[in-house]
Structure 1
Amino acid sequence: MRPDPHLKWTVLGLVLAQLLACWLVRGLAWRWLLFWAYAFGGCVNHSLTLAIHDISHNTAFGTGRAAHNRWFAVFANLPIGVPYAASFKKYHIDHHRYLGGDGLDVDVPTHFEGWFFCTPARKLLWLALQPFFYTLRPLWVHPRAVTRMEVFNTLVQLAADATIFALGGLKPVVYLLASSLLGLGLHPISGHFVAEHYMFVKGYETYSYYGPLNWITFNVGYHVEHHDFPSIPSCSLPLVRKIAPEYYDHLPQHHSWGKVLWDFVFEDSLGPYARVKRVCKLAQDRL
């Protein structure tokens, strides 16, 4: 349970790569801009959201420098195009504390989502609109007061977007926003959204994936390990499994995020309703 010494440099490289891409897409035709936003920018921006996930657990600079982690998450947020990092941290802590908690864990779909997105075509649409549901669901399920860090995150992001627009025009801004929308929507990497907590096997609500996509997603596939030890940085999660295989190797696991998406769309037993939901009481420090 110590900081990842390489995380800040990896994030810096990803942010610089997207800024370079902003410069390169200025002269592209719109169809090619959208192609690269999906094929390249979508991977980078999705990876950055998972870096922000890691940083939200104070793994960039350690728990002793929590403010440094929050500010660095705002920096990692820049290519995503919309302010995200501060709000994510606020709600993600509740996801760990109240996993599946009715009205507390905003990762759990709403009743409307389960009722409406119940056919293959509608589930496919639901997957494509994941960025919107993850953004708007907290405001409906568990609205909380806006924090100063969220205001700071928003001001920095708007300033960055305005600067990119002033220097490169509309196309770089559209490229960044499209990278986020497409990369977090119907994209192979987005299989982890469904793979992590949707109940593919009755009685199991959290699953791991140990395949190669972990290399570009900050080991988010090691999800059972992460929920067991959320303070361990993503780079060390494979070591957790290696040290204690008797706790993980026998559990149901996914072998392909692409197959996860396919099964989710076409299996009648799967959909937004396929989640464990429980009644939780607020911890005392929240009263």
Structure 2
Amino acid sequence: MPLDELHSLRDWVRWSASTFEAHGLFFGHGTDNALDEALELVLATLHLDHSLPESFLDARVTRAEAAELARRLRRRVEDRVPLAHITGRAFFAGLVFEVNEHVLVPRSPIAELIEARFEPWLDAEHVRSVLDLCTGSGCIGIACAHAFPEALVDLADISPEALEVAQRNTERHGVADRVRVVQSDVYAGLDGKRYDLIVSNPPYVSEAEMATLPPEYHREPRLGLAAGEDGMKVVARILAEAPEHLNEGGILVCEVGASADLLMARYPDVPFLWLDFERGGDGVFLLTAGQLAEFHDVFVEG
């Protein structure tokens, strides 16, 4: 690695991007190209953010900084670790979150819905309770806490390690006084509590799809991705039990990604509303409390 030939931030960005391309890395954990990935590697390692004036890219890197950049770059290239797990940070809905190997890297298009406060499907001024189901890092629920400042938010996950990350993120963002972290297998640990909004990015990857994922995804916790033979194991439970946890007029928003066709094939009569996103992404549906109650028997029989 030509450390002595790389002097500035700009040098490191250019050379890292070329190295990523040469090794055929996969980009899908916060960036979608080698150049943006390289820039985030350099800025995060040097404790800088993306508001850095471009002229600062010509600043020189110290020997200690260069050694750390080289170490992190090797982990990204040789071990195929997602960059966010190396840097310890990820961006979601305009906020920065701590992440590590115990949580998925935030990347859900649901961020757009949160920024729009789920309008027109909810009256934001009357949202008082939110559940982020299968929360992982807590990014969805914490972003909802910012969008709905009068709401109490529960972050639920089955993984104790993920909940430790989520708890630190609630403290990082100053919302720990109204955001509760709960260990729960889907709804089991919530003591029958009801919510105005349930949002979930649950595990939904089928066994067949798991086998085709790039190496970077296999560095994330399998618990957050895989969900049985057809990927519907957790989603089916979310649907079947949702009526018991939604207030009248409430909504469920759930991401199922590439498993959308499997979901519709399993429940062909259910009027899933598939949402569109300006910044890209798909596979997110919305159902109202009334619709979930109407099709409750269908979901239970599943």
TM-score, normalised with respect to structure 2: 0.28
| Bigger relative contact order (CA 8 A; separation at least 6) | 1
Higher strand proportion: 2
Higher helix proportion: 1
